[in-house]
Each structure stands twice: as C-alpha cells, then as structure tokens.
Structure 1
Amino acid sequence: MASPAGGGVRASVGGRKDSTPPYVRAISGSFGGIVEACCLQPIDVIKTRLQLDQSGAYRGIANCGRTVVRTEGVRALWKGLTPFATHLTLKYALRMGSNALFQSAFKDSATGDLSQRGRLMSGFGAGVLEALVIVTPFEVVKIRLQQQRGLSPELLKYKGPIHCARTIIHEEGFFGLWAGAAPTVMRNGTNQAAMFTAKNAFDVILWKKHEGDGKVLQPWQSMISGFLAGTCGPICTGPFDVVKTRLMAQSKSGGELKYKGMIHAIRTIYVEEGLLALWKGLLPRLMRIPPGQAIMWTVADQITGFYERNYLVLD
C-alpha cells in the first residue's frame, strides 16, 4: 500500500528502524541553529537591552533599535553573535538529540507508542539538560557582552566572549558562569515541554505528518508548525526570562548583589517596578522565538524528513 507521502511502502519490522536516531536529530538541530542565529541576533540584542532597562531609556522595540544604531553603529545589533551562534548550535544539537533519547526511554515497550505525558516529560528533560549544560554559561557571556554600551575595545570591560568568560571566572568564580541557572532551568524545561508537544500536534493536525512516516513537509509547512509551536512558551515563561537576564547581568565586582536569587528577584522586581515588569521584553521575545523556531524547524525537518524517507521507508 502506498505511503501518505506517495514515496513507497513501509519497510517490514526487520528492515525498519523504530525512529530517526538521536544523532540525526542532533545534526538537524545544529544546522537549524546556525541559520536562526544569523537571522535573528538583532532582535535578541534589543530584547536584552529592554529587559535591562530600569530607567526608561528605550521607548519600545523600534526606539531601542534606532538608539543602538545611532549611538553605537549597526554592528552593535550583532553584539554577542559568536557566543549566540555557538550557543544555539550546541543547544539545538543537545535539545533535539536528548529529546529523541528521552522519547525512546518513555515509549511503551510493547507497542512502541509515545504518550502525551511521555512527550511532555521528554521535552522538559531536554530543556533542563540544555539549560544546565549549554544555555546558562553561554547566555551569561552573551548578556554581559550585550549590556555594554559602545564599540571601542579600550572602553569595554569585556573584549570578547573568551575574555568575558575568563574575567567572570576570575572575579566571581567558576560558578559565576551559572548565574541565573534556576530560572533558566524553569524557562527552558517548560518551553521545550510545550514546544515539542505542540510541534508534533500541529504537524498531525495541519499536515497529517506523523513521526517516522517518511513524509517530508514542505518548508512553508514546517515554518507554520514551528512558528505556532514557538508562541506559547514566551508568554508562560516571561518572568523566568526577565529574572534570568537580571541575575546573569549583575556582577559581584560592582559590590553587593541586588538580587539574591530567583524568588528574591521576582519579589524585588514586582515591588519596585510592578507586575508587568516581569514580562519586559515579551514582544521582542515573540518577535524572535516563534520566527526562530520556524527557521530551525524548516531546516531540521528537511534533514530528518530526508532520513525518514530514505531509511525508515522502503521504496
């Protein structure tokens, strides 16, 4: 019987693997991360500046972007690109690969099916792992670089990503690179639980695409599914993201730390700046994350779809 993709029939049990292997998903995610980083870095810089703005210096996204370009030059919108691109490439490789491993572990041993609970737990586990191993130290460096004003090296405390990391370790200790780890874990775990579950649901509902069926989505289909899957997380995890940024930005070299931890930071921001301050930078996050997921999944789906069509389905 012809497959839904029209490209052949299912292989027999002995000739077909259960699912796309983790290393293929890791490779697909890493390529997607490279493309995403190059396209969306300016929005990430603007988001960080808005989240760190406690004096009202910027009047929205457009004003922030114009101010940065006028006072620091266009290149300032790509500040922190090297750690950002490296971080995204490694993060997506770990995220996609570990999610595939977790899914394999949570599948029913008798039927090979993955429940919605198993999918959520796999996404959350992948998010926690990426937060601790990749995201936190890279974002600490990225945020410290992005918060610096100007482009003259002699006026900047941090001369580049390597120098920034060395300075943080020297002044704050090795674990200074893990400032803000708790809200990062909460943000990424929740985000990935929602994202993987939503992406699979949209693929099935919109395009009748099931994992391992050999059907390769058109790029525009992957973009729509990825965009929709990337919209819910930022709204739910806004406070965690703001607190993460504030904790990562503060340096012990400046004296006593203002924020003592995640809960203390949430309380302090609420008291001093109001409830809505916990969602500062939400609009640029919505401008960056859903399009970023659309770009990443467009690339990743083509790679995994090619593998599924050629190795999981026999012509």
Structure 2
Amino acid sequence: MAEPSNKPEPTKKTIPPHVKAIAGSLGGIVEASCLQPIDVIKTRLQLDRTATYKGIVHCGVTVARTEGVRALWKGLTPFATHLTLKYALRMGSNAVLQSAFKDPVTGHISNRGRLLSGFGAGVLEALVIVTPFEVVKIRLQQQKGLSPKHLKYKGPIHCARMIIREEGILGLWAGAAPTVMRNGTNQAAMFTAKNAFDTFLWKKREGDGRVLQAWQSMISGFLAGTAGPVCTGPFDVVKTRLMAQSRSGNGLKYRGMFHAISTIYAEEGLLALWKGLLPRLMRIPPGQAIMWGVADQVIGFYERRYLHNAPL
C-alpha cells in the first residue's frame, strides 16, 4: 500500500487549462517564425504533380531564386495565427478532457485516457481552427511569384473573402475529413508519447514540482513528434490536395478523402501518398521540440510559483 505522502493531490496540483493554453500559444509563435520555410517547401512538394522540384533542397533553392527569399515565408501570418490559436485550443482542451478521465481519488490518468484526450483535442482543433487556416495558407503558398498584380490572392484576409465569395463558407472547410483524421491521430500519439518520454528519460511527472530544462523538454517533444507524420502521411497529402483545389472551377479532380486516396494511388503510385514526408519530419518534430521547450518553461513557472511555492 502506497504511503499517503506519495499520493497525488489533484486539487492542489492540477494545472488549469488556461495556463496550458497560454503556454502552447507562446510556443506556437516561436515555432512558426522558425519553421515557416519548411512548411512552404512541404506544400510545394505535395502539390507538385510534374516533378518540377527534385527534392527539398532543390525546391527551396528554386523558390528562393525564382520568387525571392521572402517567398519561403509565404503564408506566415495565417500560419503563425493558426499555430498560436491551435496550440492554445489543443493544450487547453486536452487539459479539460484529461481532467474528465482522471481518477477522482488519485488524480492518475491511464494511457487510454491520454489517447482519448489527445484524439479529442486533435479533432476539436481540426474543425475549429486548423482546416480554415490551412485552406488559406495553402492557397497562398501554391501561388508562384511575389508581385500582387499577378496573384489571385493578395493576402490572408483577401484570400478568405475570395474563397467565401466564390465557393461559399464551406470552401474554408475543404479537406476537413482528412484533417480531422490527421490531427486526431497525431495528438493522441503526441500527448501520450510526450508524457512517456518525460517519465522514461527524465523521471518527470506532471504536477510533481520539477521543471525540466528546456533541452530536456525539446528532446521529449522531438521524439514525440516523429511518429505522427509517418502514420498520417496519406491524410496530410489528401488534405493538401483537397484544400488546394478551387470549387469555383468546372468540376473537381478529387471528390472527397477516399476518392483522393484512390486517385493519387492509381495515377502516381503508393509512395505519392507520402509526398512531403521528409519536410514534414524536418518541420513537425523540431516544431514540437520548440513548442514544448517554451511551453514546459511556462507551465513549470506556474507549478513552482502557484502550486509548490518554490523559489523562482
């Protein structure tokens, strides 16, 4: 039988959802600023049906040479806003869902509870934030050139207005189904893996008063962020293709998630469903490392200052 002093105290040591939301949003701002070029390259590779780009480096060099270095930061405003809001919603909703799955006596949460909480947070962020922001971002990123007079979409607000006018409000939710599957699966794996790596590598448990060093959080976040892209590659490719196609034209090439998967497989082969995987692996794990490096410090500050009254 465990000693009473070893039992968690949920009421005193639970971190409020809004604290995690703020921590996630701050991490999102830093992540977006650092990794936007990788996201632009990923999008261009996924939309490339004619082998224009020979790989990540060739794509980046080609974009910079033909469109200017600033083109590698196309869509930064919606991307940064999207990440900030997404991480706030993801971290906050995950905290709320985890509290529902916690044992009311011990405060412990099972791995099943973590998976369900992560999946629920991923579905919520996909529907509320990710899909409309990514539709705008992808429409901006697929445009070639920097001169506004040659671009259909002049900026994120103009892009959103054009989509609504030409395609209706639902045009901003193109590709919602694969986005829900991608984000739900990603977050279920990520939150569970992050906790597992924190415990396995650093013996850190949430609410124990210990604050990981930033580099420790970054290692855990990096490792937790690697599995998702491999497992959800087809959903990400299909999401990008569905979001990129305009509904205002004469007919759609892809009529939905399953039709897109079968069409891409038939026309381009199985590996085409993992197009852009390497830049995703170059962006998502480092992105999770950056986000958790920032977020854990914010959460740790709160733990020390308000839960344990330890000196800062």
TM-score (norm 1): 0.95
Question: Could you say what secondary structure the match of 1:260 adopts?
Answer: coil
**Distance across 1 between alignment mates of 2:245 and 2:17:** 37
**CA shift digits 1:205-252 (9 cap, x unpaired):** 000100011111001101100000000000000000000000000002
**Distance across 2 between alignment mates of 1:215 and 1:255:** 59
Residue matched to 2:234: 239
Residue matched to 2:73: 78
Residue matched to 1:310: 305
Structure 1 residues 10 and 310 mapped into 2: Cα distance closer, same or farther (>3 Å)?
farther
Structure 1 residues 77 and 13 mapped into 2: Cα distance closer, same or farther (>3 Å)?
closer
Matched-pair contact (CA < 8 Å) for 2:242–2:254: yes
**Distance across 2 between alignment mates of 1:12 and 1:226:** 24
Of 238, 253, 256, which residue of structure 2 is paired with 1:258? 253
Residue matched to 2:25: 30
Residue matched to 2:103: 108
**1:253 offset after TM fit, Å?**
2.4
The aligned runs of 1:161-180 (5 Å cut-off) are 161-180=156-175
- One-letter code aligned to 2:194: K
Of 36, 56, 61, which residue of structure 1 is paired with 2:56? 61
Q: Does 1:300 align with 2:298?
A: no
Matched-pair contact (CA < 8 Å) for 1:213–1:312: no
The aligned runs of 1:278-289 (5 Å cut-off) are 278-289=273-284
Matched-pair contact (CA < 8 Å) for 1:203–1:210: yes
**1:113 offset after TM fit, Å?**
1.1
**CA shift digits 1:127-171 (9 cap, x unpaired):** 000000000000000000000000010100000000000000000
Of 188, 191, 206, which residue of structure 1 is paired with 2:186? 191
How many pairs align?
306
**1:12 offset after TM fit, Å?**
9.8
Matched-pair contact (CA < 8 Å) for 1:11–1:312: no
**1:13 offset after TM fit, Å?**
5.3
**Can you give the 5+ residue segments of structure 2 that lack an aligned partner in the other structure?**
none
Q: Does 1:223 align with 2:218?
A: yes
Question: Could you say what secondary structure the match of 1:17 adopts?
Answer: helix
Of 204, 229, 253, which residue of structure 2 is paired with 1:209? 204
- One-letter code aligned to 1:182: A
**Distance across 2 between alignment mates of 1:76 and 1:28:** 29
**1:309 offset after TM fit, Å?**
1.5
Matched-pair contact (CA < 8 Å) for 1:33–1:85: yes
- Give runs of ≥4 in structure 1 deviating > 4 Å: 9-14
TM-score (norm 2): 0.96
**Distance across 2 between alignment mates of 1:160 and 1:75:** 14
- One-letter code aligned to 2:80: A
Q: Does 1:45 align with 2:47?
A: no
Question: Could you say what secondary structure the match of 1:214 adopts?
Answer: coil
Higher relative contact order (Cα pairs below 8 Å, separated by 6+ residues):
1
Question: Could you say what secondary structure the match of 1:257 adopts?
Answer: coil
- One-letter code aligned to 2:183: N
% identity of equivalent residues: 80
Residue matched to 1:95: 90
**Distance across 2 between alignment mates of 1:69 and 1:199:** 35
**Can you give the 5+ residue segments of structure 1 that lack an aligned partner in the other structure?**
1-8
**Distance across 1 between alignment mates of 2:93 and 2:115:** 13
- One-letter code aligned to 1:225: S
**Distance across 2 between alignment mates of 1:262 and 1:42:** 27
Matched-pair contact (CA < 8 Å) for 2:136–2:159: yes
**Distance across 2 between alignment mates of 1:273 and 1:145:** 25
**Distance across 1 between alignment mates of 2:183 and 2:8:** 38
**CA shift digits 1:57-104 (9 cap, x unpaired):** 000000000000010000000000000000000000000000000000
**1:310 offset after TM fit, Å?**
1.8
Alpha-carbon RMSD across the aligned residues, in angstroms, is 1.5
Residue matched to 1:3: none
